[in-house]
C-alpha cells in the first residue's frame, strides 16, 4: 500500500506533536491530497472560525502516489480556511517537499493552535521537534531554507516556509518550498504566519511501497512513455506554460490593464520569445528548465535578471539564477499591469518567491491600484511617491518588494484587490471572485472559464476545471455547464492523487486510475475515482455554505457581466453567467440557490 498509514498532528499552543493512524475510511472515499485534506479540514475546523485565529488549522496533505515513480509524484496540498476569501483554502505545490514529508513517514500533517513565539517544525523520521525560529523570523524564504539546513547540518532537508509576507499577514501570502515552488493561492501562507510557524523542514528514510509492484512498474513505464510521446508534454518541456500568452493574445482573452482590455500591445516584450532573445546588452533571460519531484515534464523555468537592469544594478545579491516567468506570472506582472519589461517582471517573480506571495493576486491587486491611480483616486502621496500608472515597471519592482516586507503602500496592496478597492470606494474594480483575484483568462472571451471562476470553491481559479476545448469551439455560454461540472470533478480527482494536473497534456483519466489501482489495495475504477472527485467538490461547497457563503458569491464583477469585450474573437460579448449558473446548479444536483439537495448528498455518501 502506498500510504505510510499515519498522520502527524501538531498543536502549537500546547507545543505537542503526536502521530495518529491515517483514517483509511476517509482515504478510500477521498483518494488523498486535496480530497483527503478537505475531509480532514471539514472534520477539524469550524467553518465560521476566524481564519487568522488559533482555531483555524493548517493541513499539509500528500496523496497515495506521492513519492512513487509515477510521473510528477511530488504534488502536495495545503489547506485551511482562507483569510483572503473566508471560504475553503486549498492550494497545491510541486517541488520536493511533499514527497519528503511522506518519506518521513507522514501522509498528512495537521497544524493546530498558535505558538506563543515564532517556531519551526523539524521532522526527521520519528524525530519531530518544535524549535525556536527567532533567528529567521523576518527572513525571506531563501535565507530561511539555508539557515535551517545549516542548523541541522542536513543539506537534504526539504523545506516549506513563509517569507515576510506570511509573517506580516499579507492576505495572499503563500507557502514556498524548495526555493521557488509554492502553494500560491488563498493566502495559506498568512495562516501559517498567524500560527507563528515559520517553516516545516522534512527529511525521511521510510520508502514508499505499492500494493502490486509488478503491475505498478508496468503501468508506470507505459504512462511515462505516453507522456514522453505527447505533443502537449513536449510544448510544456520546451516553453513551460508561458506560450499560452501568445495564444491568449491572439484569441483576445489576455486580461490587460485590470481587465479593461483583452489584448496587449506590448506582447512581443513579455512573451516567450522575449525571454530567449538577447536584449540590447546581449543578456538572455531564460537559462534552462527544471523538474519538480518525479516529474518527467519539467515545465519549470530557471532565469536570471540582466545585471545592468535598474532593479538589480546595485544589488548583486540578485544576480543569481532562480525561478523564471510562467504564464500566470507573465500575465500578472505584464499585461494586467501594462508592464512590458521582462527583467522587471523576473525581479517581481524573485520577490514573490523570496518573500512568499501569490503573483496572480499581487499582480491583479496592483492593477486595481493602477486603475485607481489613473482615475485620480490614488495619488503619488498614497503610493510612496512612485508613479503608479499602468505600465510602470518601477511600481511593479518597488511594490513587489514592499508588499512582502509590509512597507508603505505595500501594506495596502497586501490586503488584496477586493479590500483595496473597497477601501478607496470602488469595489467594482476588484477583478476576481469570492475575494480571490482572476487568473490570466478573461471571462467574456472564455465563457466556460467564467463559469468555472464563479463556481470555484476557493474563489477565482483557472485550475479547478478544464474547458479550453469547449470555450474555443463556441464563444457563447451554450453547453458550458456540463463540461465545467465534469472537469471540476475530474480535476478534484487528479488533485487528490499526489500528481500534477499538467500530466493531462499526455494522459487521460484512465491513466491516473491505472496507477492508483496498482498502488492501492482494493479496486479503483474510473467511476469510483470521478465520484470521489465529485464528493470532494461537494464537501468543499458544504464547507463554504457553513462558513456563510451563498449563491450570491457565485458571481463575476460587473466589468465581466456588463462591459462588452473590446476586441478579439469575443468582441462585443459579455459573460453569460446569468444563463449558465442555473444550468450548472441543475447539472450538479443543487437547488436553485446553490445548495446540494439531500438526494445529491446521499448519493455521494455525505
Binding site for other proteins (CB under 8 A): 67-69, 71, 96, 99, 103, 156, 179-180, 203-209, 213, 217, 224, 228, 287-296, 298, 300, 302, 304, 320-323
Q: Which three cell numbers stand for residue 118?
A: 515564532
- Nearer to other proteins by C-beta: 269 or 283? 283
Compute the half-sphere exposure of residue 180: CA atoms within 13 Å on the CB side of its CA: 20
Spatial separation of the C-alpha atoms in residues 229 and 240, rounded to whole Å? 16
CA dihedral sign of residues 506, 511, 515, 520: positive
Spatial separation of the C-alpha atoms in residues 535 and 524, rounded to whole Å? 15
- Nearer to other proteins by C-beta: 99 or 110? 99
Q: Smallest distance from the beta carbon of 447 to other proteins, in angstroms?
A: 37
Instruction: Annotate 74-93 with three-state secondary structure.
Output: CCEEEEEECCCCCCEEEEEE
Q: Smallest distance from the beta carbon of 146 to other proteins, in angstroms?
A: 11
- Nearer to other proteins by C-beta: 296 or 536? 296
- Which is nearest to 400 in space by CA: 342, 353, 336? 353
Beta bridge partners of 286: 303
Compute the half-sphere exposure of residue 484: CA atoms within 13 Å on the CB side of its CA: 29
- Nearer to other proteins by C-beta: 67 or 113? 67
- Nearer to other proteins by C-beta: 180 or 405? 180
* CA distances from residue 599 to 182, 537, 545, 587, 596 in whole angstroms, order as listed: 38, 16, 17, 13, 8
Q: Smallest distance from the beta carbon of 567 to other proteins, in angstroms?
A: 39
**Residue owning grid cell 455521494:** 604
- Nearer to other proteins by C-beta: 290 or 419? 290
Listed in sequence order, the DSSP H helices in 376-444 are: 393-405, 410-413, 417-423
* CA distances from residue 557 to 70, 71, 218, 258, 460 in whole angstroms, order as listed: 40, 38, 49, 12, 11
Q: Smallest distance from the beta carbon of 125 to other proteins, in angstroms?
A: 9
Spatial separation of the C-alpha atoms in residues 341 and 344, rounded to whole Å? 5
Spatial separation of the C-alpha atoms in residues 572 and 565, rounded to whole Å? 5
- Nearer to other proteins by C-beta: 156 or 525? 156
- Nearer to other proteins by C-beta: 320 or 423? 320
- Nearer to other proteins by C-beta: 253 or 356? 356
Q: Please say whether the beta carbons of 559 and 430 come within 8 A.
A: no
Amino acid at each position: 500500500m502506498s500510504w505510510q498509514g499515519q498522520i502527524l498532528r501538531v498543536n502549537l499552543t500546547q507545543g505537542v506533536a503526536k502521530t495518529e493512524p491515517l483514517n483509511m475510511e476517509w482515504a478510500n472515499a477521498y483518494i488523498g491530497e486535496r480530497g483527503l485534506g478537505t475531509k480532514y479540514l471539514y472534520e477539524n475546523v469550524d467553518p465560521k472560525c476566524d481564519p487568522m485565529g488559533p482555531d483555524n488549522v493548517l493541513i499539509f496533505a500528500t496523496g497515495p502516489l506521492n513519492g512513487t515513480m509515477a510521473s510528477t509524484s511530488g504534488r502536495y496540498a495545503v489547506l485551511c480556511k482562507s483569510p483572503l476569501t473566508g471560504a475553503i483554502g486549498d492550494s497545491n505545490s510541486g517541488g520536493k517537499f511533499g514527497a519528503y514529508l511522506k518519506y518521513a513517514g507522514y501522509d498528512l500533517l495537521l497544524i493546530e493552535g498558535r505558538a506563543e513565539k515564532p517556531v519551526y517544525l523539524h521532522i526527521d523520521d520519528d524525530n519531530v521537534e518544535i524549535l525556536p525560529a527567532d533567528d529567521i523570523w523576518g527572513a525571506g524564504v531563501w535565507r530561511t531554507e539555508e539557515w535551517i539546513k545549516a542548523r541541522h547540518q542536513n543539506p537534504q532537508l526539504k523545506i516549506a516556509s513563509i517569507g515576510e509576507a506570511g509573517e506580516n499577514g499579507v492576505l495572499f501570502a503563500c507557502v514556498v518550498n524548495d526555493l521557488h515552488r509554492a502553494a500560491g493561492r488563498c493566502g495559506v501562507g498568512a495562516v501559517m504566519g498567524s500560527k507563528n510557524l515559520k517553516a516545516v523542514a522534512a527529511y525521511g528514510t521510510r520508502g514508499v511501497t505499492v500494493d502490486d509492484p509488478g503491475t505498478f512498474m508496468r503501468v508506470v513505464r507505459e504512462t511515462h512513455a505516453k507522456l514522453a510521446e505527447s505533443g502537449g508534454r513536449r510544448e510544456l518541456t520546451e516553453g513551460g506554460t508561458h506560450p499560452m500568452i501568445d495564444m491568449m493574445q491572439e484569441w483576445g482573452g489576455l486580461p490587460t490593464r485590470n481587465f479593461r482590455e483583452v489584448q496587449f500591445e506590448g506582447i512581443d516584450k513579455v512573451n516567450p520569445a522575449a525571454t530567449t532573445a538577447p536584449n540590447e546588452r546581449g543578456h538572455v533571460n531564460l537559462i534552462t528548465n527544471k523538474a519538480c519531484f518525479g516529474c518527467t515534464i519539467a515545465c519549470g523555468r530557471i532565469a536570471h535578471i540582466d545585471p545592468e537592469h535598474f532593479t538589480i544594478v546595485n544589488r548583486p545579491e540578485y544576480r543569481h539564477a532562480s525561478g523564471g516567468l510562467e504564464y500566470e506570472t507573465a500575465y500578472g506582472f505584464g499585461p494586467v499591469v501594462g508592464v512590458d519589461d521582462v527583467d522587471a517582471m523576473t525581479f517581481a517573480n524573485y520577490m514573490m518567491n523570496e518573500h512568499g506571495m501569490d503573483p496572480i493576486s499581487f499582480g491583479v491587486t496592483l492593477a486595481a491600484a493602477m486603475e485607481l491611480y489613473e482615475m485620480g483616486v490614488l495619488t503619488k502621496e498614497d503610493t510612496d511617491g512612485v508613479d503608479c500608472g499602468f505600465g510602470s515597471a518601477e511600481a511593479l519592482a518597488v511594490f513587489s518588494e514592499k508588499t512582502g516586507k509590509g512597507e508603505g503602500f505595500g501594506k495596502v496592496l497586501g490586503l488584496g484587490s477586493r479590500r483595496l478597492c473597497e477601501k478607496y470606494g470602488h469595489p467594482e474594480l476588484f477583478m476576481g471572485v469570492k475575494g480571490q483575484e482572476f487568473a490570466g483568462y478573461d471571462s467574456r472571451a472564455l465563457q466556460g472559464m467564467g463559469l468555472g471562476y464563479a463556481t470555484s470553491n476557493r474563489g477565482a481559479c483557472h485550475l479547478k476545471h478544464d474547458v479550453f476545448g469547449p470555450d474555443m469551439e463556441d464563444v457563447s455560454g451554450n453547453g458550458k455547464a456540463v463540461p465545467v461540472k465534469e472537469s471540476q470533478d475530474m480535476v478534484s480527482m487528479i488533485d487528490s492523487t499526489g500528481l500534477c494536473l499538467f500530466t493531462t497534456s499526455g494522459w487521460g483519466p484512465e491513466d491516473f486510475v491505472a496507477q492508483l489501482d496498482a498502488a492501492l489495495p482494493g479496486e479503483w475504477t474510473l467511476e469510483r475515482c470521478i465520484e470521489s472527485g465529485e464528493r470532494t467538490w461537494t464537501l468543499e461547497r458544504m464547507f463554504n455554505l457553513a462558513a456563510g457563503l451563498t449563491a450570491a458569491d457565485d458571481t463575476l464583477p460587473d466589468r465581466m457581466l456588463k462591459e462588452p469585450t473590446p476586441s478579439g474573437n469575443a468582441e462585443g460579448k459579455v459573460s453569460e453567467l446569468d444563463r449558465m449558473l442555473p444550468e450548472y446548479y441543475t447539472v450538479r444536483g443543487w437547488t436553485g440557490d446553490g445548495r446540494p439537495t439531500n438526494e445529491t448528498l446521499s448519493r455521494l455518501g455525505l
